[in-house]
Amino acid sequence: MQPTLKPACPNFSSGPCAKRPGYQLDQLDTTTLGRSHRSNVGKQALAQAIEQTKALLEIPDDYRVGIVPASDTGAMEMAMWSMLGARDVDVFAWESFGSGWLSDINNELKLNAKGHVADYGKLPDFSQANPNNDTVFTWNGTTSGVKVPNADWISDTRTGLSFCDATSAVFAMPMPWSKLDVTTFSWQKVLGGEGGHGVIILSPRAVQRLCEFSPDRPIPKIFRMAKNNKLIEGIFSGATINTPSMLAVADYLDALNWVQQIGGVSASITKSENNLKVIESFVESHDWINFLAQEIEERSNTSVCLVLDLNADQIKTMVSLLAQQQVAFDIGAYRDAPSGLRIWCGATVEQADLEALMPWVKWAYHQVK
């Protein structure tokens, strides 16, 4: 039987993700629109975004937070181009984006990093991490639905730096800041913000690297975080490198205020974890669908990736059926990942919408099976 109840919000894309519940464009503070981002009101809005991010995520006082161009990709490339090369590099990769960082480090930066690679659905052997090397990894595999369960494998006495792409983890998973030297994310993920901007978070050791290490390669202006062996402080106080969208900043501030209103980052993490439980319950009761993640503790609670006993064409038909019924948009697996479904379960998605979606997934499966 075709279900009758539909999700109130059918947006389950893994980026840009669903807007927060109750979002209205006319609720944004648009006083900065049409103003220079260098004006007092522009810098104040950017500084507020930085300060509120730091407070909500409980980032240590001596860490720096900056807003940078080009989403999480821009933030990661900025960090790698500016800071890698001082030491040997270990890269842990188990999906598309981690593999991309490994490729860029080896083929563009020419650093010959050591890759520790696992197939989709699994994690690599983190015991191979050398504390004397720089380490690059993703916290959550957005295209594989596999997350790092903890950071115990990162040494507290490391001499290298840890570089963490945490774009689909921040605000949905606890971040052990003492283990992370460079962390990047984009607000278009867990907070459902607009695309185009990234956030970079630096530990004091990362700042020291920027000030003491000069790579023997040209650094594009848009990637530069230091000049004359000094940190460019403006990036971390509201004077961003490139002209930001002040509308996107207003949108981000709205999302940050929402997180604060629901109880802070612990509440947004709980919302995401409860969303995962809806899908876990469904999978447990149907033998034709399963998680791509092989281990329970490694299942992502944001980008939930599922495999089915259907071929690729059948899954495409299933995804199209759900979109035609306006119950789920953009839930096909990432193009490089194994064929399947990818359902976003971050904090801006309501549990009731996932509960309404699951019977439709069952209906669409039987339509194509």
Q: What b/e sequence results for 189-219 when a residue is b if at least 16 CB atoms lie within 10 Å of its CB, and e otherwise?
A: bbbbbbbbbbbbbbbeebbebbeeeeeeeee
Query: For residue 154, what pLDDT is reported?
Result: 98
Domain with CATH 3.40.640.10 in the chain: 32-260
Structure tokens at 216: 């023997």
Tell whether the model's pLDDT for residue 87 goes beyond 90: yes
**Taking Cα atoms as reference points, which of 204, 212, 254 lies closest to residue 59?**
204
Give the N- to C-terminal CA distance of the chain in Å, as an integer.
Answer: 14
Residue type at 171? F
**Domain 32-260 belongs to what topology?**
Aspartate Aminotransferase; domain 2 (3.40.640)
Determine the CATH number of domain 264-368.
3.90.1150.10
Structure tokens at 308: 């089915």
d(CA 135, CA 181): 10
Domain with CATH 3.90.1150.10 in the chain: 264-368
Q: Are 210 and 86 in contact (CB under 8 A)?
A: no
Q: Are 279 and 355 in contact (CB under 8 A)?
A: no
Query: For residue 241, what pLDDT is reported?
Result: 81
Mean pLDDT of 3-10: 98
Grade residue 240 by pLDDT with cuts at 50, 70 and 90.
confident
Q: How many residues does the chain have?
A: 369
Transcribe 301-344 into DSSP letters: SSEEEEEESS-HHHHHHHHHHHHHTTS-BS-BPPTTSPSSEEEE
Query: For residue 140, what pLDDT is reported?
Result: 98
Mean pLDDT of 232-238: 95
**What is the model's pTM?**
0.97
Q: What b/e sequence results for 74-86 when a residue is b if at least 16 CB atoms lie within 10 Å of its CB, and e otherwise?
A: bbbbbbbbbbbbe
Token look-up 């197939």 returns: 119
d(CA 178, CA 366): 48
Residue type at 145? G
Per-residue pLDDT reduced to its tens digit, 242-272: 899 999 999 999 999 999 999 999 999 999 9
Q: Are 135 and 83 in contact (CB under 8 A)?
A: no
